[in-house]
Structure 1
């Protein structure tokens, strides 16, 4: 079975996924553009601060690639944008933890400072929240397509019993 067959599509939720991917992608592209304008060397760790964060050309290239990836997800929309937002958000969180560990060490080749780490955590949570919106909760409304997908024998009425399954040998 393919991903598009497994997950339901709902146009109201797709708007949230698209907006989240597009908004976060544009933020990253603005940050990358400011980093390129500063014209640092690729692995320079003594550059100027940009929007309160340190940067270098390598970080700007990565920010550009991720920004365009999120914009592509915004164009695709639907479940693709949702899954992409969750994955990129998770990667941002992992990056924040990694760079928190290598802060003030020689392995910090992207020149992360504490503000970069905090930005990585905040951006990761924001992107992941846009991706999980309307999908992950114990209290999804019964007309939500993800609730209907998880409860196939019910039509969305809260007090309706589940459809009987196949008899079990016991």
Structure 2
């Protein structure tokens, strides 16, 4: 099955992964930069509002690290960006769930508020969806780079398998054709002659079996009439 090849990293799926990772990484850097600019206390559990979210110095530092990882993955390539984006998404989801249970406690060292929890859950879900985009579907198109990279990439689609002969069938048909041509021209090898005779015997057997089935069906159709008379 022919497939359209693209240069590594230029496929639209790779571009989506890299752009998404870069955009979100830059967003985290902006959030962190504004937090540092406001001189936030590092481990304050109260935090201050930055872009509608509560933040402190620790959360700004975490945002810088996470943004750097996403930007590095975007620069590295599509598959890396996909994996890292999905992984960061899972971390965000876990963070949102954990912080929901430690709000207003001394364990809330990142100064999360309810708005942060909602943001973490929504952003994590979006990152996970974007990271898995184009690589988890069961019906990936032929030009999808993740299908091409799969060990079973040459496996045909189910509807195509119906049109593919069994392994070795083409070779047997070709040998049979050559043997019949040689028999017709009068110079077959002993193997070709035996092959043609075996095929003729099989055909005769199939014809006899078909004739027997037809006769049996005809008898079954007429037998009720004989019983009634």
TM-score by length of 2: 0.62
How far apart, in 2, do the equivalents of 1:128 and 1:102 lie? 24
How far apart, in 2, do the equivalents of 1:138 and 1:154 lie? 13
- Ranked by relative contact order (alpha carbons within 8 Å, sequence separation 6 or more), the top structure is 1
Distance 1:74 1:153, change over 3 A: closer
Equivalence for 1:68: 68
Equivalence for 2:37: 37
Equivalence for 2:99: 99
- Once the two structures are superposed, residues 50-98 of structure 1 have per-residue CA deviations (whole angstroms, 9 ceiling, x without a partner) of 1111100000000001001100011012211111111111111111111
Equivalence for 2:11: 11
Equivalence for 1:115: 115
Stretches of structure 1 that go unaligned for 5 or more consecutive residues are 1-7, 166-170
Aligned-pair CA distance for 1:47: 3.2
How far apart, in 1, do the equivalents of 2:18 and 2:145 lie? 17
Equivalence for 1:4: none
Distance 1:136 1:52, change over 3 A: same
Contact 2:32 2:64 in 1 (8 A): yes
Aligned-pair CA distance for 1:150: 6.3
- Once the two structures are superposed, residues 81-125 of structure 1 have per-residue CA deviations (whole angstroms, 9 ceiling, x without a partner) of 111111111111111111011112221111100000111112111
How far apart, in 2, do the equivalents of 1:10 and 1:48 lie? 42
Contact 1:154 1:160 in 2 (8 A): no
Equivalence for 1:168: none
* RMSD (Å) for aligned C-alpha atoms: 2.4
Equivalence for 1:146: 146
How far apart, in 2, do the equivalents of 1:77 and 1:117 lie? 30
How far apart, in 1, do the equivalents of 2:94 and 2:123 lie? 12
Task: Give the SS at the match of 2:121.
Answer: helix
- Once the two structures are superposed, residues 132-165 of structure 1 have per-residue CA deviations (whole angstroms, 9 ceiling, x without a partner) of 110122343344333452643435x562118879
